[in-house]
Structure 1
Amino acid sequence: MQVNRRSFLMGSAGAAAGLAFGAGCAFPAFAEDASLRAMWWGSNDRAKRTLDVAKLYQSKTPGVTIVGESLSGDGYWTKLATQMAGRSVADVFQLEPGTISDYSKRGACLPLDEFVPSTLKVDSFGADMLKLTTVDGKLYGVGLGLNSFSMFFDTVEFEKAGIPLPTADLTWDEYAKLAVELAKSSGKGGGPYAARYAYVFDAWLRQRGKSLFSKESVGFGFTADDAREWFDYWETLRKAGGTVAADVQTLDQNTIDTNCLGLGKSVIGMAYSNQMIGYQLIIKNKLGITMLPREKKGGPSGHYYRPALIWSVGATTKNGEAAAKFIDFFVNDVEAGKILGVERGVPMSPTVREAILPQLNPTEQETVKYVNLLKDQVGEYPPPVPMGATQFDQRVLRPICDELAFERISPADAATRLIEEGKATIKG
């Protein structure tokens, strides 16, 4: 079954069987007692899994209609901004750790505390897991699974090059050497021009006792000198042939199908661990997964556990209780968990996690092993992401890195601009 990244009405399971879903495809609902709009971004595989869970929920909850919309890349955030301006945010919508603080402070999210634990039965997740989606003392979302940053790699290309598969203690210096070798062997880019990835920059800073955003006050936890060193690393590697070209990297919208690995333009990709499933679906060769490189052997990894993705409830919803019930089903129902697998991360619920383990395919099992591998490697969760972090990533960091990769500015100028322009976006 193919699911297009457009609006579709999630109707009864029988009506949907074997059909493709596209804009304007409607199916009979049980009743109009409660109509919920759900919106997310992601691959066709994610859309299908979400659709199947919604159908399952409707089969068990007569009177509920769920209208879903799957978007890709920057189109999601544009649509969300439009909805916020029109005070018509979807009843249930997807966020992630880098955006939940920003959007909750801008009034997009409904506080969920009143639904815990009567409707949202999340006690089994553990108090620390709820902290990951708590902003200014209020719960603004429910994590859909655990993940962390990761490095994916094409195992076949490594074998062809005669290079041992990377391990968890790989350093940044070692990474640079193997990326250049892989580029020469494969005829592709060795890896991404990852100066552009805020989460990789954050891990790199954490390995040095710093952070992307300040722990004590509003602002940054790094200096212009730190940024220049970061930019120098990637420019040196790009010029040595170890990264994809600038015109390839600028295509990346932080989605699987625009990432250089997903496009078949590199041997290595850097992304979130739960996305390995989506990458393997579109890549013929077997992928491997390991941690991001680190500053030195035995040094801090810079990694931390994070909720892979988050369901939040729109602040303007007229169906808060119904939205909370759907989210509770999504994270706690064992049948739903078997449909979702670990595509949105390793389930938060211990019961669901235990129930799905036997059915996971080898790729899915690898993501669970990876999350378990990190147990002794992760550091403390970073301070809450400040308001404006999304704009900093999309409108400051990425454009500056693109100019850098096209050699329009120097690493020193890029670092100065990152601080100056970034300060204008970051708010309390």
Structure 2
Amino acid sequence: MKFFSLENPIWKFIGNLADFFLLSCLWYLCCLPVVTAGAATTALYYVTLKMARGQEGQLIPAFFHSFKQNLKQATALWVGYLAVGILLVLDLVICLQTSSVFAGAMFFTSVVLLACWALFITMLFPLVARCDNTIGALFKMGIAIYPLDDYIASGVVDVSGIGDANLKTTQDTEGHQLGISNGLNSYGIAYDPDMFAEAGVAEPTDTWTWDDYANAANTIHEKLGIYGCSSMLTSEFIAGCSVYVAQYGDVGQYSFFNLDLTGMGFDDPQMLTPYIQMRADSIKNEVYPDAGASAEITNIENDFLVTGEAAMAWVAANQFPTMYNVCQDQGRTLKLATLPRITSDGPSGAVIQSSQMLCVSQDSQQKEEAAKFISWFENDPDCNNILQGERGIPVNATVRETLSANATEGQQIMYDFMDKVSKFKMPDKVNVLSPDGQDEVVDNYRNYIQQVVDGQITAEEAAQKTYDDAAALFTK
């Protein structure tokens, strides 16, 4: 092995030392406000765990991704935990200043508790760094949820206006009704038709392909000097893995994870390669934002499509009305297209899923009253008129029609879009759950794309690494 090769163990060791030094500096700086020490420590563990697996990718973006993602949770834990530690220390001080048998016993107890406090904190933030608060994790906590089956059978929960397909979005694998969806959602591509016209690009159709998408984005960038498409952020994984894999073969033939969440839903990692290569090429050519530019997007209101710096953006349907309203105030009009497909006559890969659900706790002392509330909340038009589909399309047909009749332009586009997607051929069973650890796979996937951009690995290698990372979730 050549001495100056990056694979030389000496240079790897020096590189790791430099990474640890940089991490230490980041941790120290982020701990300066004191209250953010929990989030900083969580981010430190998050990156070092990735480094231990050889999956560090871009160190600084990974650190601040974890810091931002866990800021609220880790800060709350840290402040509460710090308060307990301060109380224990004060107790020790008081015991040392008091001469009595009781004080001696309390001193010993406080020492033991403080030791436990110190030991537990070494596990607390690594746990936060590895924990996934996904919808899937909540579904797996089904043991804490009291199914609504009996209340539906007795009529306490009225589901007469809710279709079977909508009910299935909140059922477990055995068909038990864990809750009622508070809104249905799907993904689409929001776009500015005037920008398409100015660039001389045809608007998307319901059967447009990823090639059409890439060609449109490239042309718009060349003609207008803006991004063809705004950053998909964490949805990059949904587009390139969940949706893209489901667009191969026949409807329902493939999925990224299998329905039982016991393994992968496809066998060939190279099914991921075309999307990865397309995305890497678009970043290289500045048709799509790189990691630095993507970090500037903090909410839907400052998405590059909204600011006029991009012609398209990936959105969840319930996000579209907000985006539409902001652009409307600027004198612009947006439209919402269905997702591109691998082939124009192939599966759409789209699914209708629940954004959230209302359910009853096993520990509730008023289960029937809770069930009555759910029935009212989901079926009463006046109640839903307040929310205006903010959490997605209402599952009750009557409520949906009532809101649609008084919808704003952006909301009406959302309703029409969901009606269109619901008519697409979809699998009989769709797994919308997430296995524990998926967040790490998502982060690695985005890092691998950046490594392809930088020429460190090929798209084929990125596809294999992504597949291996995902498959490893089921062998831990």
TM-score normalised by the chain length of structure 2? 0.62
2:211 corresponds to: 173
Alignment of 1:20-419 (within 5 A): 74=69, 78=73, 99-106=134-141, 109-113=144-148, 114-116=150-152, 118-137=155-174, 138-194=176-232, 196-197=234-235, 198-201=237-240, 202-209=242-249, 210-215=254-259, 218-222=262-266, 223-250=268-295, 256-257=300-301, 259-262=303-306, 265-283=309-327, 284=330, 285-313=332-360, 320-380=367-427, 382-385=429-432, 388=435, 391-392=437-438, 394-405=439-450, 407=453, 409-410=456-457, 411-419=459-467
Letter of the structure 1 residue corresponding to residue 140 of structure 2 = K
* CA 1:102–1:264: 2 relative to 1, 3 Å: farther
The structure number with the bigger radius of gyration is 2
Gaps of 5+ in 1: 1-72, 87-97
- 1:277 CA displacement: 0.9
Give the paired residue count.
340
The reply on whether 1:422 has 2:470 as its aligned counterpart is yes
Letter in 2 for 1:199: I
CA–CA distance in structure 1, aligned partners of residues 308 and 369 of structure 2: 42
Identity %: 23
Amino acid aligned to 2:197: E
- CA 1:386 to 1:332, structure 2 compared with 1: closer, same or farther past 3 Å? closer
Which runs of no fewer than 5 residues in structure 2 stay unpaired?
A: 1-67, 82-132
Q: Does the CA contact (< 8 Å) of 1:152 and 1:271 recur in 2? A: yes
2:351–2:430 contact (8 Å) kept in structure 1: no
Q: Which amino acid aligns with 2:208?
A: L
Per-residue deviation at 1:174?
Answer: 1.3
Give yes or no for contact 1:182–1:267 (8 Å, CA) kept in 2. Answer: yes
Deviation per residue, 1:150-174 (Å, 9 max, x gap) = 1101223223323232221211111
2:243 counterpart SS class: helix
Kindly provide the amino acid, as one letter, of the partner of residue 124 in structure 1: G
In structure 2, give the amino acid aligned to 1:269: A
SS of 2:445's equivalent in the other structure is helix
SS in 2 for 1:310: strand
Range with bigger deviation, 319-328 or 150-159: 319-328
Shift of 1:314: 5.3
| 1:358 CA displacement | 1.8
Write the distance in 2 (CA, Å) between the matches of 1:129 and 1:368.
15
Deviations 1:363-408 (A, max 9, x none): 111111112222432312554345525x31x222234313532645
State the distance in 1 between where 2:441 and 2:260 align. 22
One-letter identity of the residue aligned with 1:351 = T
CA contact 1:305–1:378 (8 Å) conserved in 2: no
The structure carrying a bigger helix percent of its residues is 2
1:415–1:258 CA distance, 2 compared to 1 (3 A)? farther
Q: Output the CA distance in 2 between the equivalents of 1:321 and 1:251.
A: 47
CA distance in 2, matches of 1:395, 1:78: 18
Which structure shows the bigger proportion of residues in strand conformation? Answer: 1
Residue 131 to residue 261, structure 1, CA distance change in 2 (3 Å): same
8 A contact 2:162–2:395 mirrored in 1: yes
How many angstroms does 1:260 deviate by? 4.4
Q: Matched residues in 2 for 1:315 and 1:204: separation? A: 38
| Cα deviation code 1:103-157 (max 9, x no counterpart) | 1214585133244354432232123322211113332232123332211012232
8 Å contact kept, 1:103–1:109 = no
2:17 is matched with: none
Q: Residues 202-242 of structure 1, C-alpha deviation per residue, up to 9 Å, x if partnerless?
A: 22211113211124761222332122332112112222332
1:249/1:260 contact within 8 Å kept: no
* TM-score using structure 1 length: 0.69
Which whole-Å CA distance do the structure 2 matches of 1:370 and 1:110 have between them?
32
Distance 1:174 1:321 in 2: 52
CA distance in 2: counterparts of 1:312 and 1:77, whole angstroms: 25
Instruction: Flag as ranges the 4+ runs of structure 1 deviating above 6 A.
Output: none
CA contact (8 A) 2:184 2:395 kept: yes
CA change 1:296–1:125 in 2 (3 A) is same
